[in-house]
Amino acid sequence: MKIAFFSTQPYDVTFFNKENKQFDFELEYFETGLEEQTVGLVTEDTDVVCVFVNDKVDAEVIQRLAEKKIKYIALRCAGFNNVDLDAAHKHNIRVCRVPAYSPEAVAEHTLAMLFTLNRKIHKAYNRVREQNFSLNGLLGTNIYKKTVGIIGTGNIGSVFCRMMKALGTEVLAYDVYPNKALEADGTVRYVELDELFTKSDIISLHCPLTPETLHIINEENIQKMKDGVMLINTSRGKLIDTHAIIQGLRNKKIGALGIDVYEQEEKVFFRDLSGTILEDERLQLLTSFPNVLVTAHQAFFTDEALTQIAFVTLDNLKQLSTTNEIVGRVAEL
């Protein structure tokens, strides 16, 4: 089986080559993302295209892939909002993903962003490097006994719920499919969104991007929040209306913002733009706020997670090609 990888980074090559020793597939790597202009890179002897979060696998791309007799689209991530599943099914191209890969990795990064923003670690680090040992402007608060609202309690969200409960916070949660185990052991109290917005000191997003969650953080919902609320998003960029969040920061409704994902990240993230002028004015503005912390979609970026992503992606394809089904994980879409 020949697999064409798009949006490839050096670490993808390292981890997939390592895990492929037990599968012996033919792997071909492209640094460019998959879109209509680059689908021509897929050769006629290719069986699979492997894509990441910012590749554009729309109906036009899938049509071209079908013409090249592609059998499978493998996502090396959990999210799949960038793939036109209806078009894939129409052309009998099977789609699989990695439904869970070290949820602790993302939850721990979320916690790191929370602590960094609250205790202003990023500012303190830069000050000390300049031999400025003043504490003025670095005042934080205790997380203990704060109210934390968590939207989405799937694999990652549930891990984060337990982390926050262990810190002595009150955890409010919202999910269309509540986790009964979290509720039963007293880790969370499920509430409606409005109550979560109005009562939470800290809000963390861990839900998928769907038509219902698109811009779930918008001007109307921001107005319901406590003054000075901390908001963290390590899930999907389009959960947040960027224009609305900038206004919330300006009027001090949002006290701190941590984002590992961004609404227009496909034009920026995973690239070294240090020698260029950033053309995204909204992102440029966000990074200028002293109470905003931006990381470039690195929450998943641990050795354990990348090993799991590579293994599960390749194992999904092995199972589909040999037994026509994937056993043991909800991976096919």
pLDDT in tens, 39-66: 999 999 999 999 998 899 999 999 999 9
Say yes or no to pLDDT of 302 above 90. Answer: yes
Note whether residue 158 is domain-resident. yes
Looking at residue 99, its pLDDT comes to: 87
Looking at residue 100, its pLDDT comes to: 82
Domain shared by 280 and 163, yes or no: yes
| Mean pLDDT confidence for 6-27 | 96
Domain shared by 76 and 120, yes or no: no
Domain shared by 112 and 228, yes or no: yes
Domain shared by 152 and 72, yes or no: no
Note whether residue 330 is domain-resident. no
Phi and psi dihedrals of 254, rounded to 5? -90, 115
Taking all residues of the chain, what is their mean pLDDT, rounded to a whole number?
A: 95
For 69, the domain range is 2-101+302-323
Domain shared by 112 and 187, yes or no: yes
Query: Taken in order 56, 57, 59, 63, is the CA torsion positive or negative?
Result: positive
CATH number of 68's domain: 3.40.50.720
| Active-site option among 265, 279, 281, 329 | 265
Q: At what angle do helices 303-323 and 10-19 cross, to 10 degrees?
A: 50
Looking at residue 79, its pLDDT comes to: 81
Note whether residue 276 is domain-resident. yes
Domain shared by 155 and 213, yes or no: yes
Note whether residue 23 is domain-resident. yes
Domain shared by 92 and 122, yes or no: no
Q: Measured between alpha carbons, how far apart are the two ends of the chain, in Å?
A: 20
Express each pLDDT in 205-250 by its tens digit.
Answer: 999 999 999 999 999 999 999 999 999 999 999 999 999 999 999 9
Domain shared by 25 and 109, yes or no: no
DSSP per-residue string spanning 95-113: EE----S-HHHHHHHHHHH
Express each pLDDT in 275-288 by its tens digit.
Answer: 888 889 999 999 99
| Active-site option among 76, 94, 109, 236 | 236
Domain shared by 212 and 191, yes or no: yes
Note whether residue 43 is domain-resident. yes
Looking at residue 279, its pLDDT comes to: 87
Query: Is 281 assigned a catalytic role?
Result: no
Domain shared by 173 and 149, yes or no: yes
Express each pLDDT in 164-210 by its tens digit.
Answer: 999 999 999 999 999 999 999 999 999 999 999 999 999 999 999 99
Looking at residue 329, its pLDDT comes to: 79
Question: Which residue type sits at 327?
Answer: V
Note whether residue 283 is domain-resident. yes
Domain shared by 118 and 180, yes or no: yes
What does the alpha-carbon distance between residue 234 and residue 154 come to, in Å, rounded to a whole number?
13
Per the structure, how many domains does the chain have? 2
Helices (H), ranges, 149-241:
155-166, 180-184, 193-199, 219-224
Query: Is 104 assigned a catalytic role?
Result: no
Looking at residue 328, its pLDDT comes to: 76
Note whether residue 333 is domain-resident. no
Domain shared by 122 and 231, yes or no: yes
| Active-site option among 297, 304, 325, 332 | 297
| Mean pLDDT confidence for 91-114 | 94
Looking at residue 218, its pLDDT comes to: 97
Q: Return all residues near 131 (Cβ < 8 A) that are at least 6 apart.
A: none
Query: Is 236 assigned a catalytic role?
Result: yes
Note whether residue 92 is domain-resident. yes
